[in-house]
Amino acid sequence: MTDTIIIRTEDLTKAYGTKTAVDHLCLGIRRGEIFGLLGPNGAGKTTTILMLLGLTEPTLGKAFIDGYDCTRESMQVKRITGYMPDNVGFYGDLTGRENLRFTARLNGIPEGEIDPLIDGLLEKVGMTQAADRKTETYSKGMRQRLGIADVLIKDPEVIIMDEPTAGLDPEGMREFLELIKQLSVKDGKTILVSSHQLYQIQQVCDRVGIFVDGNLIACGGINELGSQIAAEGHYTLEVETEPCDSRFLGYLEELDGINNITKKGNTFVISSSRDLRRDITKFLGTNEYKLLNMHQKGGDLDEIYRVYFEEAEKEGDDQDAKSGSRKRLFGR
Amino acid sequence: MLKAAAGSASLAVNEGKRGNIGSHSLSALYRKEMADHVTSKRFIIIMILVIATTIASVYGAVTGISSAIKNAAMDPKASFDAHFMFLKLFTTGGSSIPSYMSLIALIGPFIGLILGFDSINSEKNNGTLNRLVSQPIYRDSIIIGKFLASSTLIAVMILSTGIAVGCAGFLATGILPSGEEAVRVLIYLVYTILYICFWLAMAMLFSVFTRHAATSALASIALWLFFAIFMSLLAGIMANAVYPVNTEYQQAVNAFENYNLNLNLNRLSPYYLYSEASSVLMDPATRAINAVSYAQLVGALSGYLQLGQSLLLVWPHLVGLLALTFAAFTISYIGFMRQEIRTS
């Protein structure tokens, strides 16, 4: 059950004039997972989401949610898909409860069931206190939580959120991510989150896709992407020693595969194309250095992001390499 | 196997529960729009405006009629037409207060504009439209619901004030409407509702195609000014250009054609259509609205037109107003259906 694909796109393409916002996107999202769609602004994340909901027509290709064609059967798709746009808006002169009631009516929920349903959802997102205030008085975080309640009214199987964490304070963010996690783990919802903020995504996502200029340049679990980076030869090692002298530096410079060495206090930050730990510990041991700290970086999302983005930029400069090494490594 | 069967059963229940979703959503949207309007400040402002207009015009009509009667009693040479007195409540002004008919012709378009000018673009800017279109509703029910809700309000407003004028006039003067008068007033009110709905459709059209509410408000006011003022100037200029009447000879040859062209150009404007129709309906003495030659008048007796005959005169106006309204609404409908809605 958990391994079935619920959202599938086939060569999904959207062009605005000459600009291609989404370029032959092939993506599969499994039932019950949290998938993070990462990318800088203008990478085509929102366009992809609009196409999934049938709100804009793809120039080419198809998308399916739970077997329904997103363009032709958008009614069915919208029945099982909850969408929270970025900057989710509510009718300011209605209360939170009234806003939810309106959504419930639009979804054809019988009048008698609406109020208990809304009470339950407000409780779930922790908005019972503020439910009878007008939404124009809400803070960003409150609107975001009401947005989740709004999405959950139709009891969707798939939840799509566009930049849900933008503009939240750290506490609001933590609560929000907690809520998302719960929805996935407890209620078994499939969640697609788009964002340009890395750390939050790293905390909650099962898999991420990195999106640059309409292309999905990498896709997989966080660890998977980490090892992909390692395999490609991006290592960053921090070594703190006592003493931290020029003899050690001289040794490091002699080693193979060194890209760059910087010194911060008693710490060397070494970026290299291979794993140096074995060599360094041997050197330190035989020369009676005291090793205070050694930390291999890589595998966290920031690193992943940086690498892929640099690559994307490099390719922008160098069009010849367009379908070179990247496709070989990350082709899906 | 069992699990799958249970799943499909619950799905079927779900489908049944949510069946017929189109009509559900349209009525939900309609009710919400209605509630929104009725509780909004701007609706209260329009309501005050309309009520003040009604009271003022009733006062003006009553004083105007009574002074006319007094004059007729004092001065045997002054004639006073005592037929269709009830209609005079709507068409007579007095002591520099315009009549109900002319006041409504003036503020009516604004009622439509105010109800419609930000219907789509404000929702777009607030990010609510975004949420709305991702619900399982047909997108057209959004724009249809908005139009229906606003036009219902217009109908209620116009019918209630029209009836209020009749009642107040009856209380003040004791004039009872004859059956024909009542029907005439009712038909006149229907024309008024349709005319205001045209402006509603126009304002919604601008609200679909412009990003800011202020832009669409200004654009629709500009259009109103054009139809109300500049259209007649333009029609005159064009008629004179096509059929010049500068010399006596030209006048003799072209006068008739010139007048007809001028009239027909004016009739492209909903403003003119409405004012012509309402004057025919409310004044049974209007026997023709086109140019009439002397030959046609030979042997004619002066008298009042029957209701059916008046309706024959204004039938094309009804069709014209309906067509304009539908055209405006259809364009905004198509535009709205094809738009890509995303947060800006």
Question: What's the pLDDT score for residue A141?
Answer: 84
pLDDT tens string B16-32: 444 455 567 888 899 99
Tell me, rounded to whole angstroms, the distance of Cα B282 from its chain centroid: 16
CB within 8 Å of A178: residues ≥ 6 apart = none
Mean residue pLDDT across chain A:
82
Question: What's the pLDDT score for residue B86?
Answer: 84
Cα separation, B271 vs B290, in Å, equals 17
Cα separation, B247 vs B196, in Å, equals 42
Question: What's the pLDDT score for residue B191?
Answer: 94
How would residue A331 be classed by pLDDT, with cut points 50, 70 and 90? Answer: very low
Place of tokens 């504009």: B113
CB pairs under 8 A between A and B: 88
How would residue A300 be classed by pLDDT, with cut points 50, 70 and 90? Answer: low
Question: What's the pLDDT score for residue B145?
Answer: 93
Q: Compute the nearest-CA separation of B290 from chain A (Å).
A: 51
Q: Compute the nearest-CA separation of B144 from chain A (Å).
A: 14
Query: Which chain B residue has the Cα nearest residue A80?
Result: B136
Question: What's the pLDDT score for residue A40?
Answer: 78
Contact A104, A150 (CB under 8 A): no
Q: Taking CB atoms and an 8 Å limit, are B28 and A46 in contact across chains? A: no
Tell me which residue of A84, A24, A57 sits closest to A211, measured CA to CA: A24
Question: What's the pLDDT score for residue A221?
Answer: 82
3-class DSSP assignment, residue A20: strand
Question: What's the pLDDT score for residue B190?
Answer: 94
Tell me, rounded to whole angstroms, the distance of Cα B140 from its chain centroid: 23
Question: DSSP class of residue A135?
Answer: G
Cα separation, A40 vs B280, in Å, equals 65
Q: Taking CB atoms and an 8 Å limit, are B131 and A86 in contact across chains? A: no
Cα separation, B11 vs A211, in Å, equals 35
Share above pLDDT 90 across residues of chain A, in percent, rounded to a whole number: 16
Cα separation, B253 vs B244, in Å, equals 9
* Facing residue for A108 by CB, picked from B25, B126, B342: B25
Question: What's the pLDDT score for residue B17?
Answer: 42
pLDDT at A304 over 70: no
Q: Which residues of chain A have a CB within 8 Å of the CB of B121?
A: none
pLDDT tens string A130-176: 889 999 999 888 888 899 999 999 899 999 998 888 778 888 888 88
| Chain A contact probe: residue of B135, B144, B146 with most A CBs at under 10 A | B135
Q: Compute the nearest-CA separation of B334 from chain A (Å).
A: 15
Residues of A with CB under 8 A from a CB of B: 46, 50, 53, 55-56, 75, 78-79, 81-93, 102-103, 105-110, 150, 154
Question: What's the pLDDT score for residue A330?
Answer: 44
Cα separation, B66 vs B80, in Å, equals 11
Share above pLDDT 70 across residues of chain A, in percent, rounded to a whole number: 86
Cα separation, A114 vs A134, in Å, equals 19
Question: What's the pLDDT score for residue B332?
Answer: 94
Helix axes A111-125, A140-152, angle to 10 degrees: 140
pLDDT at A323 over 50: no
* Facing residue for A106 by CB, picked from B19, B25, B126: B25
**H or E element: which one contains A5?**
strand A5-16
Question: What's the pLDDT score for residue A230?
Answer: 64
Name A291's bridge partners: A241
Q: Which residues of chain B have a CB within 8 Å of the CB of A84?
A: 131
For chain A, which domains are there? 5-227 (3.40.50.300), 235-297 (3.30.70.100)
Q: Which residues of chain B have a CB within 8 Å of the CB of A154?
A: 135-136
Query: Which chain B residue has the Cα nearest residue A105?
Result: B28
pLDDT tens string A218-239: 788 877 776 766 666 667 788 8
Query: Which chain A residue has the Cα nearest residue B135?
Result: A78
Which amino acid is residue A19, in one-letter code? K
Question: What's the pLDDT score for residue A328?
Answer: 41
pLDDT tens string A258-295: 877 888 888 888 877 777 888 888 888 888 888 888 87
Contact A64, A70 (CB under 8 A): yes
Instruction: Give the ipTM.
Output: 0.79
Identify how many contiguous H helices and E strands chain B contains and give both numbers: 15, 0
* Facing residue for B134 by CB, picked from A78, A86, A92: A78
Question: What's the pLDDT score for residue B151?
Answer: 94
Question: What's the pLDDT score for residue A259?
Answer: 78
Question: What's the pLDDT score for residue A260?
Answer: 79
pLDDT tens string A22-58: 888 888 898 889 998 888 777 888 889 989 988 888 8
Q: Which residues of chain B have pLDDT under 50?
A: 1-19
Question: What's the pLDDT score for residue B2?
Answer: 42
* Facing residue for B18 by CB, picked from A46, A88, A108: A108
pLDDT at A326 over 60: no
How would residue A315 be classed by pLDDT, with cut points 50, 70 and 90? Answer: low
B21 touches chain A (CB under 8 A): yes
